[in-house]
A and B are shown apart, each in its own frame.
Chain A
Amino acid sequence: MNQVSPPTAEQCVDVAIDYMELDKIIEEEFGTDKENLIMILQAIQRRYNYLPQPTLKYLAEKIGVAYSQIYGVGTFYSTFSLEPKGRNIISICLGTACHVRGGERVRERIIDTLNLNGKHTTGDMRFTLEGVRCIGCCSLGPVIKVNEDVHGRIGSDEVEKVLEKYE
């Protein structure tokens, strides 16, 4: 599955975890039902933008699931990230329809424009680039989604202009 490297020590101490709030996220919506693990992780990621390691340890005790198993789930599913993400998330659709309409070239342009050099997130934390497999807007392909905005029929030459708008 997706390859995620464990967060570095600095990344872990960077984020302040409000455990009262975390309790609320876990208990209010989901109870402590183990079957809700994936949805709890999604809620944590919605709050922090990624899965901070201390929250996972806390969650393990809270709902009685081994930390190793939570780590397993967190690295198995591609929507979870153990690393902090940028302020703006660019999701490039890599579905087949977008692929045959030149999605790969758009991705290359984004990588070039943002100087990503093999990383997913820009150094200034402005952008994170993620690939998604089909968001179901095939008529608009190639498609990129920046945060919640869908930009359809995007040409390689339009990438720079679209990204400019996001700070």
Chain B
Amino acid sequence: MKIQSKADLEKINREYSSRLYYPDTTKVLVGMASCGIAAGGKAALEKAMQDFPGGNGVSIRQTGCLGFCEVEPLVEIAATGKPRVIYQKITEDKIGDVINSYLENNFKKTKWILGQVRDPRSVMEDHLENPLSKVEPLEKIPFLEDTPFYNNQVKIALRNCGYIDPDSIEEYIARGGYFAFLRALFDHKPEEIIQIITDSGLRGRGGGGFSAGKKWATCARHHGDRYIICNADEGDPGAYMDRSILEGDPHSVLEGMLIAAVAIGSSQGFMYVRNEYPLAVKRLVTAIKQAESYGLLGENIAGTDFSFNIKISTGAGAFVCGESTALMASLEGKVGRPRAKYVHTVEKGFRQNPSNLNNVETFANVPAIVSKGAEWYAGMGTEGSKGTKVFSLVGKITNTGLVEVPMGTTLRNIIFDIGGGVLKKKKFKAVQTGGPSGGCIPEQYLDLGVDFDELTKIGSIMGSGGMIVMDQDTCMVDIARYFLDFLEEESCGQCNPCREGIKRMLEILTAICEGNGKEGDVELLEELGDMVAKASLCGLGTSAPNPVVTTINYFRHEYDAHIKDKKCRAGVCKNLYYYEIDAEACTGCRVCARKCPQDAITGEKKEVHQLDQDLCIKCSICYEACKFNAVIIK
């Protein structure tokens, strides 16, 4: 069926909305994003399908990621008239029992349950009645929306992730999908759409933070075959919000691109997806085919003269291709080297034509903004940064996951309330934002409200939203070295300051980490960093010194300890520490001795153990294994 009008869309919406919220079976939704699959979700899904092959009132479906990666695989079970319950850490050995207990209305095994859903509606559906309003909630089971991980979140870009089957366009439509596009197509002039996006204050979520509306307006002014390009080359290590959106709700991105195409006047779109995301590509291919079959992509969409096609291209592993000009070169099948932007890509980009590039998350926000209005979106966030932002909260954090919070939420709120604080209750040292172009933020700034401008003020950047928490066992000099190592490898090599500057900085940092640091090295790093930042061609180089500069600014004492005392107190730089067994804390349990691959630890049971420094390779297995903190870093 080809959708020709809003009435057609409404018909699908009504039919599938009732199936979504009032199913005639007990619906088991298994989280099947990459993270869920890796944690055992696929095996659980297959086991459930085997145990409940259909016909007995149970249907097994896949869904995207609910964001709480720490407790994956997540399974949600729902039936009409019954509470919707989210179960945590449900591997294949448990899923059968979990489904049976739900069928028997037995909710006694509370450790399996993460929470019950109070309201499954998305932000696009507040005109509907809450499908659970007449359902008696379970006693003693918390509402998911009240749990610390979720209660500060506002889901706009992630509105459908974990609620719908990503391979079903009908479920996307059921949650209000494609209505914003039809509204843009039938009810608005292109300028009006651009105005809505401009007024909403939406800024590019890929890291640049440029006003999306302004970008669209500039692109629309230039003549030629205009292109809409979606940047899904999510290269920042530790950031995976785009992957999660593409895997959990691919249609939201397609709809965002369609709206942009109407606004700017484009008939061809491209998705440039990172090679490491095969599942995202697979789901996008399915989504595009479905949209085509409904006539939402292709020629003469909804009976109008508007046509739009989307082609998927995959990257081949080059961080620099996240930069707009490099990405476009790569799309043309060439080596992904950036060019100077005297002429912006909105004027001359892909194939020398006006090209509008936005990031996945930016596009995912667009349908919600068009649907609910600029004012609604601009009502959230801070003065200069509106709406919400998705962060991937990773590293040494208790609750690893994807969180979407209004701009301006404090780091402390994100890390300690939502994230549950530092892993194993260790001491917080820093949080790194913005990927390799960002910086390390120390404890003193934890009460800072996170937005584009505030993070820039303290030397870091928002970037694409990676937030890597670091604890007492993280060496800040090593982190600076790590990022430069990354950037040295990923530098495209065409401009001197970046190619040579980063290499020299890396040499100095490596020397410091190996115990060969000299007085004056820090000052030299600062001088080189200043040059690289000022003289490099593209963003990769100009922001490359950020991790070094911020660690020097906030953790200078660690550099000094490495250079002057030849000590790495975090126990990371191998030449600068050794392990010792604390005779007072050692209980003689032999755990470390059994695990040591070098047989470097000796000692009888219940007697203090000895560590032979000559045999020790500092693999840290004993340090991690000891429950009594008896293996100490010296």
**Docked-complex contact A157 and B316, CB < 8 angstroms:** no
Stretch at the interface among A5-13, A15-23, A72-80: A72-80
Cβ-neighbour of B468 out of A37, A94, A96, A135 (below 8 A): A96
B317 and A34: CB pair below 8 A?
Answer: no
| Separation of A99 and B400 alpha carbons in the complex (Å) | 15
Could you say which residues of chain B place their CB within 8 Å of the CB of A97? 237-238, 394-395, 400, 468
- Cβ proximity bits B65-94 to A, threshold 8 Å, 1 near / 0 not: 000011010000000000000000000000
Count A-side interface residues using an 8 Å CB cutoff: 47
Chain B, interface residues (CB within 8 Å), range: 35 or more
Q: Is the CB of B237 within 8 A of A139?
A: no
**A105 → chain B, closest Cβ, in Å?**
6
Which among A79, A96, A150, A155 has the greatest number of chain B C-beta atoms within 10 A?
A: A96
Contacts of B539 on A, CB cut-off 8 Å? none
Given contacts A133-B319, A134-B237, A140-B38, contact A100 B395 (CB under 8 A): yes
Is A88 engaged at the interface, CB distance under 8 Å to the other chain?
Answer: no
CA A65 – CA B333 in complex, angstroms? 10
Query: Which residues of chain B have C-beta atoms less than 8 A from A49's C-beta?
Result: none
| Shortest Cβ gap from B105 to chain A (Å) | 31
Binds A, one of B174-182, B210-218, B447-455, B487-495: B487-495
Given contacts A101-B395, A139-B69, whether A73 and B235 have CB atoms under 8 Å apart is: no
A36 at the interface (CB under 8 A from B): yes
Pairwise interchain contact B238-A138, C-beta atoms closer than 8 A: yes
Q: Which of B37, B72, B314 contacts A39 (CB 8 A)?
A: B314
Given A1-B489, A38-B333, A157-B597, also A139-B316 (CB < 8 A): no
Q: A55 near B: Cβ within 8 Å? A: no
CA distance A42 to B486 in the complex (A): 23
Which residues from chain A sit less than 8 Å from chain B, CB to CB? 1-2, 33-39, 41-42, 65, 69, 72-73, 76-80, 94-97, 99-102, 105, 108-109, 132-141, 143, 150, 152, 155-157
Set of chain A residues within 8 Å of B493, measured between Cβ atoms = 1
Among B9-17, B353-361, B617-625, the stretch that binds chain A is B617-625
Q: Are A141 and B316 in contact, CB atoms less than 8 angstroms apart? A: no
Query: Which B residues lie within 8 Å of A100 (CB)?
Result: 395-396, 468, 470-471, 474, 479
A-B CB contact pairs (8 Å), 25 listed: A1-B318, A36-B333, A38-B315, A38-B316, A38-B333, A42-B314, A73-B316, A73-B333, A76-B336, A77-B315, A78-B317, A79-B317, A95-B238, A96-B468, A96-B483, A97-B468, A102-B620, A108-B619, A136-B34, A136-B234, A137-B34, A138-B69, A138-B400, A139-B400, A156-B597
Chain B residues whose C-beta falls within 8 Å of the C-beta of A34 in the assembled complex: 332-333
Contacts of B330 in A (CB 8 A): 38
User: In whole Å, how far is A160's beta carbon from the nearest beta carbon of chain B?
Assistant: 9
- Scan B415-446; emit 1 where CB is below 8 A from any A CB, else 0: 00000000000000000100100000000000
Q: Which residues of B contact A78 (CB under 8 A)?
A: 316-318, 489
Residue B595 is within 8 A (CB to CB) of chain A in the complex: yes
Q: Which residues of A contact B143 (CB under 8 A)?
A: none
Nearest A residue to B333 by beta-carbon distance? Answer: A37
* Nearest Cβ on chain B to A163's Cβ, whole angstroms: 14
**Is residue B542 within 8 Å, beta carbon to beta carbon, of the partner chain?**
no
**0 or 1 for each of B233-267: is its CB under 8 Å from A? (1 = yes):** 01111111001100000000000000000000000
Nearest-neighbour CB distance to chain A for B280, whole angstroms, equals 9
A residues near B332, Cβ cutoff 8 Å: 34-35
Q: B334, A143: Cβ atoms under 8 Å?
A: no
Chain B residues, Cβ within 8 Å of A136: 34-35, 234, 240, 243-244, 276-277
Using known A-B contacts A96-B237, A139-B400, determine if residue A39 contacts B621 with beta carbons closer than 8 Å: no
Residues of chain B from 258 to 301 with CB closer than 8 A to chain A in the complex: 275-277
Instruction: Name the CB-closest residue of A to B468.
Output: A96
Least Cβ–Cβ distance between B236 and chain A, in angstroms: 8
Give the complex CA separation of A47 and B244 in angstroms. Answer: 29
Interface residues of B in 588-625 (CB under 8 A from A): 595, 597, 619-621, 624
Considering residues A143, A152, A157, which has the most beta carbons from chain B within 10 angstroms of its beta carbon? A157
